[in-house]
Chain A
């Protein structure tokens, strides 16, 4: 062990970037997922305006994650991306359509249904692709000599399809609770009615994934049995977050549902990490093996340590500037 384990710091940083991305872009993707089901254009305007100021910054975390992964864990970058080749394309295409729809929807009227469809479709495809990434990570990736050796469609299994569905529903839940916080009136009422359905659906998904994974993967089963009961707080935290979320919605709380939903995501994320630790690419490559040269990790770490507080400060400031309720649109009905 060196004086300071830089790789360990980098695991933390990449984890932070993933959480930041999943929570932040999660709720604005979720808004897009809910889009086709919204009662009217006014509700669509409301929720879109609630995410419009921040979605750009949210997606920057993905770019930072991609570049950071290449810098700190090049093996993850150069194995995961080829392994998920078509999924990555779908993810990027979804994000592009959705990003452009954001800009042009507000400025169109005749072509608006088209941009609505682009926004919803792009969001759903991007969310599902991310769900597939998580599923493929959990089910394992075929590697030989730090090179992906699997086929083009290895990622396409019933399990990954199910994780894709789960993440789409999970993001929809995040988006709905975000919407509760940011809107009022009929839009908020609709979101209050939808959220309990999503809570039940997400709870079922989590339950299925939590059973499916250890039953098909002895390694995961053994991890949870050998660490028992030290890992017990993770599922308990998840269950607690679900109950809190349910209660908060019944009580018509405005802020609590969103933060309970974040808690749910954190517990699920921690659960995946705990199941797979210390593997960067399950089931063979560890974080230490995937790491880049220490001098490269150090070189970019200096920049991160200097810039990350500023970036987080800027992000916080943006959310502060756009705090409070979205104002209802009055111009057209």
Chain B
């Protein structure tokens, strides 16, 4: 039965697990940087709004990070299960790179995440700020290593083949391969944009509902500055990345532009219906000569077409072409929103414009879609190569893998990820709905388990018992009563009964810190 092709199913499976995984780190990289900035601002200015924001976003960070870790474990075994020939052939390079990611980045994140999440009342403020910076740096180091591996697959360098095995001849050339910095910059800015749009969207959500307005105005303002810097910068970085790809992987760019035949004065297609059989578009609308101008900076420049290589060496044009357009479209909408926000700020209406706030709220998923679309462009555009020009996808797949096995695990991962994704999104939305003003008093750190989500004290489901605070239903109940004692001792507020308003919450925290000092 031809329908169960292990190669195709393995590609689908890898695309699925890596796409699912990728949305979490992209978000945590941007968010970790934001939290580090908030901690830094709080350290310098003592403005309590920064501390509230830092604590609120750290809670969200904890959940997203936890889901990233869980889905990341799968990634470290995918190369072996479905792409064992690739793993075996390239292990001399890929193995050390992935190991260094575990050793340098996961380790750094794990150590300092504990302090960031649980150490606020335990370590001096400077140390806590340091921990926030280390977590942020750790996320960037992690992306550096994984992008080094990925870029090497796109623009391999610093190696030689011996008996079908890759041997590294120059570690620096292999690690810092030609496309690494373009890719790293593109992903880093994408992460900052993702963090920026999520923070802006969630802040807008609160402002639309007039909740903790002072705090979230601050957050919205910061996020809009970030977007204003990052969105146009991304257009620049993306253009440089694209030109570099044009130089190194012209066929990929031909697929992105939907350019079938080598020609001068190639048009920039806005929409098209590519037909691989006919090697032409069934239908298209384009701007004359624009693609030539963008790629060669000459209106009549020559750009190579897909037909330069045999059909078997071309990537599927439709998915690459359309993913590229989705990414670009979202990018331009982002720039437009950034400029709109800047204009409103100039007119003094950034915090009042309900239209902007609504749009921002709707745009929360946009950066994730753009990131995934970008990955589709670069990864599907690489096919039929696994290592560009060196090893094809069909050479890399596990020889013993049958279509039925690949299908079984593909369905399995979809089911498993579907369940945890639902649980994670549901829980994240509960944290957002509860908001920073709804937080219970932080408990003494020694009763916190050192794991990501333990810092979050939002209930997973509706629980009537939660309203009677002091006997909160989670498992750290003794800690709850201990902190209640501490509160009694320090400022006499007592057992924290009844609903907690933001002012009261702040008062208690202040009292507690005082008591601990």
Contacts and interface: CB of A to CB of B under 8 A. Distances in A.
Interface stretch (A146-154, A162-170, A174-182, A257-265): A146-154
Contacts of A72: 95
A67 B76 contact: yes
B452 A74 contact: no
B99 A331 contact: no
Interface residues of A, number: 77
A71 B473 contact: no
B405 interface: yes
Contact of A80 (B63, B80, B102, B420): B80
Given A93-B412, A96-B73, A109-B461, 4 more contacts: A66-B80, A97-B419, A147-B85, A314-B111
B450 A53 contact: yes
Given A74-B95, A106-B475, A307-B103, A148 B70 contact: no
A85 B100 contact: no
B110 A60 contact: yes
A212 interface: no
B103 A107 contact: no
Contacts of B148: none
B447 interface: yes
26 contacts: A63-B102, A71-B91, A77-B87, A81-B77, A82-B80, A85-B405, A86-B405, A86-B408, A86-B409, A89-B81, A89-B408, A93-B413, A93-B416, A95-B73, A96-B74, A96-B416, A107-B458, A108-B463, A147-B88, A148-B398, A148-B400, A151-B400, A292-B95, A303-B96, A329-B478, A331-B471
Contacts of B114: 318
Nearest to B478: A327
Given A86-B405, A100-B423, A103-B452, A78 B95 contact: no
Contacts of B419: 97
Closest 8 CB pairs of A and B: A331-B477, A74-B91, A81-B80, A71-B95, A52-B449, A78-B88, A108-B460, A53-B449
B489 interface: no
A260 B401 CA distance: 42
Interface string B464-489: 01000001111111101100000000
Given A67-B102, A93-B416, A295 B168 contact: yes
Contacts of B110: 56-57, 60, 314
Contacts of A108: 459-461, 463
B451 interface: yes
Contact of B81 (A75, A82, A111, A303): A82
B153 to A, nearest CB: 15
A201 interface: no
Interface string A280-306: 000000000000110110011001100
Nearest to B74: A92
A56 B92 contact: no
B409 A107 contact: no
Contacts of B405: 85-86, 152
Nearest to A299: B96
B79 interface: yes
Contacts of A102: 451
A48 B475 contact: yes
A216 interface: no
Contacts of B88: 74-75, 77-78, 146-147
Contacts of B111: 314
A311 interface: yes
A26 interface: no
A85 B460 contact: no
B73 A300 contact: no
A19 interface: no
B449 A70 contact: no
B87 A70 contact: yes
Contacts of A96: 70-71, 73-74, 416, 420
A178 B69 CA distance: 25
A110 B462 contact: yes
B429 interface: no
A274 to B, nearest CB: 26
A45 B79 CA distance: 37
Contact of B400 (A83, A104, A106): A83
Given A110-B462, A332-B465, A307 B107 contact: yes
Contact of A300 (B79, B99, B477): B99
Contact of A292 (B79, B85, B92): B92
Contacts of B85: 78, 147
B460 A63 contact: no
Contacts of B427: 104, 107
Interface in B78-98: 79-81, 84-85, 87-88, 91-96, 98
Contacts of A314: 107, 110-111
B330 interface: no
B284 interface: no
Interface in B431-473: 446-454, 456-463, 465, 471-473
B388 interface: no
B423 A104 contact: yes
Residue from A68, A96, A314 with most neighbouring chain B CB atoms (10 Å): A96
Given A78-B91, A330-B477, A107 B460 contact: yes
B433 to A, nearest CB: 14
A307 B104 CA distance: 8
Contacts of A200: none
A147 B171 CA distance: 27
A99 interface: yes
Nearest to B63: A103
A331 B472 contact: yes
A70 B42 CA distance: 43
A296 B95 contact: yes
Nearest to A81: B80
Nearest to B73: A63
B81 A110 contact: no
B73 A92 contact: yes
A223 interface: no
B402 interface: yes
Given A81-B84, A107-B459, A307-B107, A332 B471 contact: yes
Contact of A111 (B100, B171, B453, B460): B460
A148 B91 contact: no
B101 interface: yes
B502 interface: no
A111 B473 CA distance: 13
B480 A97 contact: no
A78 B110 CA distance: 28
B136 to A, nearest CB: 19
B102 A330 contact: no
B176 interface: no
B401 A82 contact: yes
B396 to A, nearest CB: 10
A74 B92 contact: yes
A330 B93 contact: no
A331 B473 contact: yes
A68 B413 CA distance: 24
Contacts of B316: none
Contacts of B448: 53
Contacts of B480: 331
A254 interface: no
Nearest to A95: B73
Given A78-B84, A321-B446, A329-B475, A311 B409 contact: no
